[in-house]
Structure 1
Amino acid sequence: MDSILALSGGHLCHKVPGADLTSASLIHYNLALNQLKYQLTRIAAGNPADPVRLLLTILVLSITESVSGNSKGATFHHLRASSHFVPLVLALDPTHGDQEVCAFLLETYAYMVSIVNITVNTQPTFPSLVLDPYIASLERFQGCKSFGTMFGYARDLLSLVPTICTLGYNRILEESAGECSFESLACYKAIQSKIENWQEPSPRENSGIDTKDLTNAAKVYKEAVLIFLHTAFYASNVTDPELLALVDKSICATLVLTDFDTDSPVLSVMLWPCMIIGSCLRQPVQREYLRYKMLEAPFNMTVVRSSVQLLDWLWEDSASDAFGPYGLGSVMRKYGVIHSMS
């Protein structure tokens, strides 16, 4: 309950700024952390604990940091903590508790871990990549009504993001040594093939969301993940004509897909592709269009405005590497922020 109240306060503080409301929200946040610390101490002493309850609480705190626009990477810390309880939840007997709750929590965790990274341009002061081996484990929950709540039709696409992050990080290391390994090139081509050959799954009945919106959202994710892959492989070589041509092709493919109604539920999961695609926009009219669409969305949250601010910094930067996810990493270092989303 304290974590839920902290999350509610995070939303409300953006709409109704005030010291009293901020203080109340922080009190509940600190109470939740203190209770978590107590539970973890009990676990360390050998006492049993409910991993579902703990995972739920930590994920709520992670979302609280994200929607509140935390710029110091707190979301990364919570997701690392969550990762310790995910295998415990997966190991629970199927008859234990509510499988719908387990399915929703595990999918939420997998989604958050996938989209928390908007750049692979890591440095010693930047949080290490949060990589996830559990997305494939969601298959067992396909019969649950909540299945697909976070991923929609894009689960197979987003499952590639952690691998792309690893590839991008390796490419940065290789680039500093003046080389490009056969392994990296083979990995790049294999992932590219998977993305380009991806097809949306058959519509699920009773999803409560327009299947056209789900399909278009997944197609936007397809192009965003493809851009993320291309820019990860080219590393700091962001002005390479081949890279720019590949990115522009994906951008053109997404512009006709982004005209969702302002009340469409899929808008709640479109921030990550907006950041990846937006980081590669070079035309002022395209930038202004995306900026308008992001601020027009009905989600009155600090994270949306801080995301737009990050894109503004990138677009205004005259540095040669101020382009794409790599450029987002450079701009974050320049302004001393660690932008993360969930």
Structure 2
Amino acid sequence: MSTATDQQNLPQEGARYPTKYRRNIPRSKNGCLTCRAKRKKCDERRPCCTSCARTGRECTWPVSAEIPSTNETSESNGSAQQHTTLPSRPRATVPTTASIPEVLENTSSLRASLTFGTLSNLSSSSRPLYDQYLDMTAELLARGPSADGNPFINYVLPLAASDSLVMDCVLAIGGAHMAVLEPDRPQLEVMTRRHYARLLEGLRKALCDDAACPFGERDEDKKLYTLLILIMLCIFEGVQGDNSGAVYHHIRASRHYVMELAADTYKPSASKKTEHIRGFLLEIYAMFALKLAVTPRGLQEENPVTVDPFLGSLEFLGQFKSRGFMLGFGHRLFAMIPDISNLLEKRRREELSGSTSDGLFESYKSLLKKLDSLDPSSDVLEDEDACPRYQQSTAVAIYRTALILIVHSAFHQDIHKNAELLAEIESRIDKILPLCWAVYTSKSPLRRMMLWPGSILASCCKKPEHVHAFRLGLNSNPRSPGGVREAAKAVELLWQDDDPRAYGPRGLNMVMKKHGLSFSMC
């Protein structure tokens, strides 16, 4: 298998610290993980240290049981392995959920250990891609808090430290984000494509059972590994802003492996060391599948995403410590999406056949009533690590409104001519806009979930003040990945289109087809 690390015979340990004279004072290891990863001095102010507050980075702290005492600190001129280098491990070893705190305790912090250990084997051209993933991209990928912190760091990076294909995933994702943020540096695109090519080659070998699996040699281990790579490809497409519909192909390929994984959800896992990976992959898949099922598909219109029955309830996520990192609110609302998706697809086929059904229209009205009756304040997660209730209920209200507009649009071909319905939609946007703006301007991780509903709501805007507000919202984050920028461009094309049908989700789908676009809005 190709590798993301240099082919030179580099030492497995990181470079030793300089042996110049230092004061004989033990180093404090009580600083935040972010400062330690960056090798910066931390003033240890909680909950957010001065350095993180100044740079706008996420300030992450180890739990108290994981903070080494000053008696456990090493002398400053010891070897790197004595300090923070992650010991090299055989490829078939993967940290378990239980071992994550041990890694933190034994190496000062997960971030620091990976930085020192893995980067010592990366080429100088690949190292910035890793830094990008660690410092910025991983934070943007997580859509909510969880008991296990950010799985894109705490789960993925230990794997990347011992598996070259997972490392290629990390480098491709970090590189894609860098290329979006710095389009005037074409070499970033070259480096990213290099890792992406390695990733595709590694996936081909995994599909042919011709790749070493870090989880073990059992059939279920290999399937889990293949699913991990496919899901990371979905993440990559969103970060780079692919607009050709590649994510739809990846999620359909993932479904084959997810169905088997979901069938065993409530069974005791034969491999406890991969339990956290199972939860990680199932929640990401659920997020993608549910959103794609109700997203205007553009060029992919004829290829709907199948939403399987197990997604009709998200209770299965409760057994995993990572619950909430992607779907941290509104589980009752999300559980309605399979029925909504099924209704939308029936309506699409009905239009294609030129027929109409009173029964289908009654289902539409019944579904609208059900959506309107859902109380956002009651559809929240009560986990200790979950976002505050008011943030969750706000997000639920926004998603509920977007789903209502999706359903309205599906059942009214000439919605732009229906004055009564247009007035109702305008009123709904008037009410929900302050909530949208509150989320867009907040520091809540739930704001990273606002691309899909924001795009749907924006497609229904006619008032100049509504258009202006959503334009600001969709373009508010200068660090946003490519998928956000593609969605903002598509909505802008809709607003600028003179065709009166260019309105709402149906109009957005028309404009996307006109311009050859198809992307996830996830």
Shared fold per TM-score greater than 0.5? yes
**What SS does the corresponding residue of 1:42 show, helix, strand or coil?**
coil
* Aligned position for 1:28: 195
Which of structure 1's runs of 4+ aligned residues deviate more than 4 A? 117-123
What amino acid maps onto 1:33 in structure 2?
L
**What SS does the corresponding residue of 2:314 show, helix, strand or coil?**
helix
In 1, the alpha carbon distance for the partners of 2:225 and 2:337 equals 27
**What SS does the corresponding residue of 1:205 show, helix, strand or coil?**
coil
Alignment length, in residue pairs? 339
What amino acid maps onto 1:314 in structure 2?
L
Q: Taking structure 1 as reference, are residues 19 and 49 closer, same or farther at Cα in structure 2, changes over 3 Å only?
A: farther
Matches within 5 A, 1:113-262: 113-117=289-293, 119=295, 126=301, 128-133=303-308, 134-136=310-312, 138-199=314-375, 200-258=378-436, 259-260=438-439, 261-262=441-442
Contact (CA 8 Å) 1:39, 1:49: kept in 2 or not?
no
1:321 aligns with 2:501: yes
* Aligned position for 1:66: 238
What amino acid maps onto 1:10 in structure 2?
A
Structure 1 stretch displaced more, 1-10 or 135-144: 135-144
What amino acid maps onto 1:224 in structure 2?
A
Q: Taking structure 1 as reference, are residues 247 and 204 closer, same or farther at Cα in structure 2, changes over 3 Å only?
A: same
Structure 1 stretch displaced more, 143-152 or 62-71: 143-152
Contact (CA 8 Å) 1:73, 1:339: kept in 2 or not?
yes
The offset of 1:340, in angstroms, is 2.1
**What SS does the corresponding residue of 1:84 show, helix, strand or coil?**
helix
1:281 aligns with 2:461: yes
Q: Give me the TM-score of the superposition, normalised by structure 2.
A: 0.61
In 2, the alpha carbon distance for the partners of 1:70 and 1:253 equals 33
**What SS does the corresponding residue of 2:435 show, helix, strand or coil?**
coil
Higher RCO by CA contacts (8 Å cutoff, separation 6 or greater): 1
In 2, the alpha carbon distance for the partners of 1:115 and 1:321 equals 24
In 2, the alpha carbon distance for the partners of 1:297 and 1:206 equals 28
Q: Taking structure 1 as reference, are residues 186 and 120 closer, same or farther at Cα in structure 2, changes over 3 Å only?
A: farther
Identity %: 30
Contiguous gaps of at least 5 residues in structure 1: none
Greater share of helix = 1
The offset of 1:129, in angstroms, is 0.9
**What SS does the corresponding residue of 1:85 show, helix, strand or coil?**
helix
Matches within 5 A, 1:32-51: 32-42=199-209, 48-50=219-221, 51=223
Structure 1 stretch displaced more, 318-327 or 230-239: 230-239
What amino acid maps onto 1:21 in structure 2?
L
In 1, the alpha carbon distance for the partners of 2:355 and 2:230 equals 41
In 2, the alpha carbon distance for the partners of 1:314 and 1:219 equals 24
In 1, the alpha carbon distance for the partners of 2:239 and 2:206 equals 25
Structure 1 stretch displaced more, 82-91 or 15-24: 15-24
Contact (CA 8 Å) 1:122, 1:128: kept in 2 or not?
no
**What SS does the corresponding residue of 1:71 show, helix, strand or coil?**
coil
In 2, the alpha carbon distance for the partners of 1:49 and 1:34 equals 21
Q: Taking structure 1 as reference, are residues 101 and 204 closer, same or farther at Cα in structure 2, changes over 3 Å only?
A: farther
Contiguous gaps of at least 5 residues in structure 2: 1-166, 211-217
Q: Taking structure 1 as reference, are residues 181 and 299 closer, same or farther at Cα in structure 2, changes over 3 Å only?
A: farther
What amino acid maps onto 2:426 in structure 1?
D
RMSD of aligned residue pairs (Cα, Å): 2.4
Structure 1 stretch displaced more, 160-169 or 316-325: 160-169
1:340 aligns with 2:512: no
* Aligned position for 2:179: 13
The offset of 1:279, in angstroms, is 0.4
Structure 1 stretch displaced more, 31-40 or 78-87: 31-40
The offset of 1:162, in angstroms, is 4.1
Structure label with greater radius of gyration:
2
